């Protein structure tokens, strides 16, 4: 089997939800994202294609590692049932940089009690503690054996705003925050995405302009 066929076979074997398996294009797109994480081009990828659980994502990753399609350094992170494939070295580096000066991420406070979104300090108390908790969780990587490469956030996840956590783990330059202990509503305008076409000197470029949305 070719490398592409191996990736597709692994996805279809381990990531089925009910009777529905991933299509070949979906499988190859996921493979490209996991490969990017393995190369350190992305810190992590959140699996959200279908209803496959974190345990299934772990088996999928383990199969890729056994086939030597990706390195053994990657692991699966289970956050309240959400499965992420993580490059722990890259993620830790990003989180440590946030703690250092907060310059590599903008946190947008979208609490429903506000009229409009505002920029929040990424090093404010609650956000800082959450980042420290994530770093402490990742320290547990060294205690995992090569077979059980599943790291769980456990009950600690209940204290975290997972919207913010996903943004931080995935390396987004901007991530949303809201006080989930009070409400999951937000003050975003839900402005629809608008695509604008601009042309110059015989060339054409698509520029995307949108208001904040989730």
Band of residue 148 on the pLDDT scale cut at 50, 70, 90: low
DSSP state of 88: H
Residue 205: Cβ within 10 Å count: 9
How do the domains of the chain map onto residue ranges?
3-183
Pairing relation of β-strands 118-120 and 106-109? antiparallel
**Torsion angles phi and psi, residue 191, rounded to 5:** -65, 125
Band of residue 144 on the pLDDT scale cut at 50, 70, 90: low
User: Pick the residue with more confidence: 211 or 21?
Assistant: 21
pLDDT of residue 196: 74
Query: Does residue 161 have a pLDDT over 80?
Result: yes
Q: By percentage, how much of the chain surpasses pLDDT 90?
A: 45
State the Cα–Cα distance between residues 101 and 145, nearest whole angstrom: 34
How far, CA to CA in Å, does 84 sit from each of 19, 111, 169, 182, 200? Answer: 22, 26, 9, 26, 41
The residues, any chain, with a CB within 8 Å of residue 173's CB and separated by 6 or more, are 104, 105, 106
Region 12-25 average pLDDT: 89
Region 112-136 average pLDDT: 85
pLDDT of residue 210: 42
State the Cα–Cα distance between residues 57 and 50, nearest whole angstrom: 11
Query: Does residue 151 have a pLDDT over 80?
Result: yes
R_g (Cα) of the chain, nearest Å = 19
Band of residue 186 on the pLDDT scale cut at 50, 70, 90: confident
State the Cα–Cα distance between residues 107 and 171, nearest whole angstrom: 12
pLDDT of residue 74: 94
pLDDT of residue 212: 44
Region 52-60 average pLDDT: 94
pTM above 0.75, yes or no: yes
Region 60-83 average pLDDT: 94
Band of residue 199 on the pLDDT scale cut at 50, 70, 90: low
User: Pick the residue with more confidence: 185 or 170?
Assistant: 170
Query: Does residue 92 have a pLDDT over 70?
Result: yes
**Residue from 146, 18, 128, 2 nearest 71 by CA:** 146
State the Cα–Cα distance between residues 58 and 76, nearest whole angstrom: 5
């Amino acid at each position: 089997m070719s490398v592409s066929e191996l990736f597709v076979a692994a996805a279809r074997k381990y990531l089925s939800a009910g009777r529905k398996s991933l299509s070949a294009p979906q499988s190859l797109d996921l493979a490209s994202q996991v490969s990017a994480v393995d190369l350190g081009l992305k810190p992590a990828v959140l699996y959200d294609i279908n209803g496959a659980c974190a345990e299934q994502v772990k088996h999928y990753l383990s199969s890729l590692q056994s086939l030597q399609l990706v390195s053994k350094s990657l692991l699966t992170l289970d956050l309240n049932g959400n499965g992420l494939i993580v490059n722990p070295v890259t993620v830790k580096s990003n989180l440590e940089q946030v703690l250092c000066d907060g310059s590599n991420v903008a946190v947008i406070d979208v609490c429903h009690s506000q009229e409009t979104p505002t920029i929040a300090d990424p090093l404010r108390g609650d956000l800082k503690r959450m980042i420290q908790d994530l770093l402490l969780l990742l320290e547990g990587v060294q205690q995992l054996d090569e077979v059980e490469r599943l790291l769980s956030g456990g009950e600690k996840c209940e204290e975290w705003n997972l919207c913010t956590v996903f943004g931080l783990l995935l390396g987004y330059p901007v991530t949303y925050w809201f006080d989930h202990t009070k409400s999951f509503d937000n003050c975003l305008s839900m402005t629809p995405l608008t695509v604008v076409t601009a042309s110059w000197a015989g060339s054409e470029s698509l520029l995307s302009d949108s208001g904040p949305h989730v």
